C-alpha cells in the first residue's frame, strides 16, 4: 500500500533535528510522499530547505496562513511571491480563522481572495484552512466560481450540506485527519455520505494525532491509522482506501 500525507508541517520546531528520521519512519509505514503547506516568512526557508533534502518525497507549497494575516499582510505576500518559481505544488495554506482572533477578518478575506487569483493564474490548487469561518469562505469561493477553482478543504469538519455546497464551487476535495479517530467526532458520520473519490488523507502534524497515538507528537507515519478508521467507517478494505485516496492526492497536487 502507498499513502500520501497531503498536509504536514514537518519543518515545525516540534521536529527540529528529527525531520529526516520522521521521513524515514513515514516511508516505512507506506507514506512515501508528503505535501508541506506554507505558513509565513518565519518558517518558509526551513520548509524549502527540508524539501530540497528529500526530492520526490517532500513537496512544498506557498501561502499565507490566515493567523499570520494582519494589517501588513501585503508585505508578507510580497515576501511569499519571491518563491513562486521554487517548484511549489499548491497555494496555501490560506483561508480564514475566526477562532483565534476576529481583529483582521476583512484582511483575511482580502488575503484569501488575492491567493485565489494567484492560484488561478498559476494553475495551482488551493489548500484552504477554515476555522469558525466556513460561511464567509464559501461566499468568497462562490463569488469566484467562474475561475474553476480546485483544491482541498484541509481538516474538514463541516456537514454533508457544506460539502455539497463546496462541490458547486469547482473541483474540491476534503482533507481527513486524526480527528476521524476520536470518540464522538462528528466527521465520522459525515464521511459516510462523502464519496471516497473526494477524500485525501492528512496528518496536520505535529498536531491532531490519531488514536492510538493521541497525546504524542503527530507525524506522517501515522497516516495508516487514519486510513484504517476511514476504511472501517466506509466498510471497505484499507487497501482500497489507500489506492483511492492516494490517486486523489496525486491528481490534485500533480505528484
Strands of 170-176's sheet in order across: 91-97, 126-131, 149-153, 170-176, 199-201
Of 151, 71, 166, residue with least CA distance to 115: 151
What is the residue extent of each domain of the chain?
A: 3-229+242-253
pLDDT reported for residue 87: 96
pLDDT at 166 over 90: yes
% of residues, the chain, pLDDT over 70: 100
% of residues, the chain, pLDDT over 90: 98
* C-alpha 84: how far from chain center: 19
pLDDT reported for residue 100: 80
pLDDT reported for residue 110: 98
How confident is residue 45, by pLDDT bands cut at 50, 70 and 90?
Answer: very high
CATH class of 3-229+242-253: alpha beta
pLDDT at 228 over 90: yes
Beta carbons within 10 angstroms of residue 51's beta carbon = 23
- Mean pLDDT, rounded, for 179-207: 97
pLDDT per position as a tens digit, 52-82 = 999 999 999 999 999 999 999 999 999 999 9
Q: Which grid cell sits at 188?
A: 465520522
pLDDT reported for residue 102: 87
How confident is residue 31, by pLDDT bands cut at 50, 70 and 90?
Answer: very high
Residues with Cβ within 8 Å of 250's Cβ and at least 6 positions away in sequence, in order, are 4
pLDDT per position as a tens digit, 94-137 = 999 999 888 999 999 999 999 999 999 999 999 999 999 999 99
Mean pLDDT of the chain: 97
pTM: 0.97
Amino acid at each position: 500500500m502507498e499513502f500520501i500525507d497531503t498536509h504536514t508541517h514537518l519543518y515545525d520546531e516540534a521536529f527540529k533535528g528529527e525531520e529526516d528520521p520522521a521521513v524515514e519512519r513515514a516511508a516505512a509505514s507506506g507514506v512515501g510522499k508528503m505535501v508541506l503547506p506554507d505558513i509565513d516568512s518565519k518558517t518558509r526557508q526551513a520548509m524549502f530547505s527540508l524539501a530540497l533534502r528529500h526530492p520526490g518525497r517532500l513537496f512544498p507549497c506557498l501561502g499565507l496562513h490566515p493567523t499570520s494575516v494582519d494589517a501588513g499582510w501585503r508585505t508578507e505576500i510580497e515576501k511569499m511571491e519571491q518563491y513562486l518559481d521554487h517548484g511549489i505544488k499548491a497555494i496555501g495554506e490560506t483561508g480564514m480563522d475566526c477562532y483565534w482572533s476576529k481583529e483582521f477578518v476583512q484582511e483575511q478575506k482580502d488575503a484569501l481572495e488575492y491567493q485565489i487569483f494567484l492560484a488561478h493564474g498559476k494553475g495551482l490548487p488551493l489548500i484552504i484552512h477554515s476555522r469558525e469561518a466556513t460561511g464567509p469562505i464559501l461566499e468568497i469561493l462562490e463569488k469566484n466560481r467562474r475561475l474553476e477553482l480546485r483544491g482541498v478543504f484541509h481538516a474538514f469538519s463541516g456537514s454533508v450540506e457544506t460539502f455539497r455546497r463546496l462541490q458547486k464551487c469547482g473541483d474540491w476535495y476534503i482533507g481527513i485527519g486524526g480527528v476521524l479517530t476520536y470518540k464522538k467526532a462528528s466527521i465520522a458520520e459525515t464521511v459516510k455520505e462523502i464519496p471516497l473519490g473526494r477524500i485525501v488523507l492528512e496528518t496536520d502534524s505535529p498536531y491532531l494525532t490519531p488514536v492510538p497515538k493521541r497525546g504524542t507528537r503527530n507525524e506522517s507515519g501515522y497516516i495508516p491509522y487514519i486510513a484504517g478508521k476511514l476504511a472501517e467507517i466506509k466498510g471497505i478494505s484499507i487497501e482500497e482506501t489507500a489506492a483511492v485516496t492516494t490517486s486523489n492526492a496525486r491528481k490534485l497536487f500533480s505528484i
